[in-house]
Amino acid sequence: MPIARIATGIEGLDRMTGGGFVERSANLVEGAPGTGKTTLGLQFLVRGIEERGEAGLYITFEEFPAQLYADAQRMGWDLERYEAEGKLRILFTTPTDLLAGMEDMDGSIEQVIEELSIRRVVVDSLSHFEFLTDDPFQLRDIEFRLVSAFKREGCTSVFLRENGNILGDTNSQSRSPFVVDSFIILRYVELDSAVSKAMLVLKMRGSSHATDIRRYRIAQGGIVVEEKFLGQEGILGGAPRKSRADAFVEAFGKKR
């Protein structure tokens, strides 16, 4: 039986993943500040609403609701309208309150999910749970509980996570990539004295995916995934160099 997919609706990403996220899966999107994590999360929900009629839940620990609405408005997304129409719920909460609301089976989160028939959930961001404990095993247990709760409710979830490294390797001690079904990295890349953004699908449990690193940009309407970084090596390190073949051509002219 083919694996059921939830198209993200994000141009290019669905192609890279062979049709989108696996239904009822938990997906981690990690990136440095400003790489477009919030944009990707909102886009996943907005496209679900617009193109599939699937309701979404956005859980955020940021303190300024007005900022989120304004940022979305700049993208062309009227979140308040979706909320009024019962297609979207934005929950401004704290990690502690969220966990408490998930403890009992009849918790407030489950109520929201059932009330609106939520199919897509975004948590912005997983990083906030790291403040709750210094114990990596306890953190992994918390993350596992989150991931499981949304799966149990039949939702496909996207967990955003901050990565403090602006350029360069992920260098993360976190175990959360092990808890989720897919892992996407957003990354700044310095190329010809300018900064580009790169996207990579590092893992997708149970299915094949593109392993190349794609350039993407943020525009009105959200993230647009573009072509591969041709002729470049070392993209993941943040400071790519020309591949040997291209450097050869540059130095010695066209290969004969």
Ligand X SMILES: Nc1ncnc2c1ncn2[C@@H]1O[C@H](COP(=O)(O)OP(=O)(O)OP(=O)(O)O)[C@@H](O)[C@H]1O
Residue 128 touching ligand X (CB under 6 A): no
Position among 17, 25, 27, 39 found at the interface with ligand X (CB under 6 A):
39
Query: Which CB sits closer to ligand X, 39 or 174?
Result: 39
Position among 34, 86, 136, 154 found at the interface with ligand X (CB under 6 A):
34
Report the distance separating Cα 231 and Cα 143, nearest Å: 38
Binding-site string for ligand X from residue 77 to residue 116, where x marks contact by CB under 6 A and - marks none: ----------------------------------------
Applying the rule CB under 5 A, the residues between 35 and 54 that interact with Mg ion are: 37-38
Position among 2, 63, 74, 252 found at the interface with ligand X (CB under 6 A):
74
Q: Which residue is nearest to Mg ion (CB)?
A: 38
Residue 195 touching ligand X (CB under 6 A): no
| Cα within 13 Å of Cα(123), Cβ side | 24
**Residue found by looking up tokens 């647009």 in the block:** 224
Position among 36, 48, 56, 238 found at the interface with ligand X (CB under 6 A):
36
Only segment of 1-9, 214-222, 233-241, 244-252 that touches ligand X (CB under 6 A): 214-222
Contact 18, 205 (CB under 8 A): no
**Residue found by looking up tokens 């309208």 in the block:** 81
Q: How far is the CB of 39 from Mg ion (least distance, A)?
A: 8
DSSP state of 104: S
Position among 162, 226, 233, 246 found at the interface with ligand X (CB under 6 A):
162
- Hey, which bits of the chain come out as E strands? 5-6, 21-22, 26-31, 55-60, 88-92, 118-124, 156-162, 182-191, 194-204, 214-219, 222-228, 232-233, 241-242
Report the distance separating Cα 240 and Cα 168, nearest Å: 10
Only segment of 13-21, 86-94, 138-146, 216-224 that touches ligand X (CB under 6 A): 216-224
Q: Indicate if the alpha-carbon torsion angle 59, 65, 67, 69 is positive or negative.
A: positive
Only segment of 67-75, 134-142, 206-214, 239-247 that touches ligand X (CB under 6 A): 67-75
Residue 66 touching ligand X (CB under 6 A): no
Tokens of 32: 């440095």
Position among 33, 53, 65, 154 found at the interface with ligand X (CB under 6 A):
33
Report the distance separating Cα 161 and Cα 197, nearest Å: 16
Residue closest to 12 by CA, chosen among 40, 50, 53, 52? 40
| Cα within 13 Å of Cα(55), Cβ side | 18
Q: How many residues bind ligand X (CB under 6 A)?
A: 15
Q: Are strands 21-22 and 5-6 parallel, antiparallel or unpaired?
A: antiparallel
Residue 75 touching ligand X (CB under 6 A): yes
Interface with ligand X by CB under 6 A: which residues?
31, 33-39, 71, 74-75, 162, 218-220
